[in-house]
Amino acid sequence: MPLALLLSRICLPAAKMPNTRSAASARLVRADVNPVVQEVKRESSVSFDVSKPESTASVKRKRVKRELELNGEHPKKQVGIVPDIEDFRYNRTKAVTSSIKVEEKVRVSSVIKAKAPENWEAVLGGIKNMRLSGQAPVDTKGCEKAGSLLPPKERRFAVLISTMMSSQTKDEVTHAAVERLSENGLLDPDAIVRIDEATLANLIKPVGFYQRKAQFIKEASKICLERFGGDIPDSLNELLALRGVGPKMAHLVMSIAWKNTQGICVDTHVHRISNRLGWVFREGTKQKTTTPEQTRMSLEKWLPKDEWEPINPLLVGFGQTICTPLRPKCDMCGINNLCPSAFKESSSPNPKQKKTRSS
């Protein structure tokens, strides 16, 4: 038999060869060089039997899956059936989406802290040294001193009333008004509710906006009686719900009355001095803050929490005695070598002097 005819009968079509066959296991060995008689030897472990086609169910399942993938769909998973290995393929779209969600959660939940100003500890220490004398009005007549000899519940109410009167009013004036209310037995919510508004306004005069404050004090006293059993609210939200109580007052009352400091009390002195020292900036800028609330949020980003309560009376007293609103006494200040605003405001003449010189 010719060699070509013999080989054509032995070799199988390439399309029917199993994919798993190894080249080494399918060696064809020619035993004789005689072109007429040839013998082909095979290793005993190799089988040329390709008569076992894939099962009909398997072929159909793969065909359906391929059609669904081409249409951008995925076959539904069935409970209790072992998943195919292709079900575990890496899905890039899902992976990217999940990573973005995690990053967004971290970004929202993270507490953003700002870098503390340079030399802030030396500046704070210098202010504390200047305030050791305790001769500022806030040291003897501040809201902290209201009702200091009263029982806890009555003292908390006195602190609330004193704080409500302190806005736009000097500590000496507020303290005197608290004393008049005490002398008339009006540091009590029930007594304030029973007195007429005009009499109350005359007693607290000359505190700033005394008529409006008399109205707010009567309303707050009624709420304290009806909702809190004669005590004052013990949360920021409930304090802020009282008319005439702003963030500064609410934080101060929480710190003094309840010994629960939840934020920094920022009044005009704290606001002014923090900006002069370069301690605060509007968010996302290097510009000074324009409101006490902006100052509070900026300070709380870097000032240690154990300084939140004492920073108010510390800077208030400093602002009353040395770092005053007009023409601060920079020559007497012990931190004038660290303050970026030192001698800048005190050296400028006031408007009246300027007009006189120009004329």
Cβ neighbour number for residue 183 with a 10 Å cutoff: 10
228 membership: H or E segment, kind and range: helix 210-228
Q: Which of 248, 301, 305, 352 is catalytic?
A: 248
Q: HSE of 221 in the Cβ direction (CA atoms, 13 Å)? A: 23
Cβ neighbors of 267 (< 8 A, separation 6 or more) are 248, 292, 312, 316
Q: What DSSP assignment string belongs to 53-81?
A: PPPHHHHHHHHHHHHHHHTT--PPP-TTS
Q: Which two tokens stand for residue 359?
A: 């004329």
Q: What is the distance between the alpha carbons of residues 273 and 279, in angstroms, rounded to a whole number? A: 9
Q: What is the distance between the alpha carbons of residues 55 and 49, in angstroms, rounded to a whole number? A: 16
Rounded to the nearest 5 percent, the helix, strand and coil shares of the chain are: 55, 0, 45
Q: What is the distance between the alpha carbons of residues 218 and 66, in angstroms, rounded to a whole number? A: 78
Would you give the DSSP letter of residue 112? P
Would you give the DSSP letter of residue 341? T
Radius of gyration of the chain (CA): 43
93 membership: H or E segment, kind and range: helix 92-109
> Which candidate, 268, 279, 275, 332, places its Cα nearest to that of 307?
279
One-letter amino acid identity for 197? E
SS3 30: strand
One-letter amino acid identity for 188? D
Told to judge if 355 belongs to the known catalytic residues of this protein, a careful annotator would answer: no
Cβ neighbors of 277 (< 8 A, separation 6 or more) are 117, 123, 339, 340, 341
Catalytic residues: 248
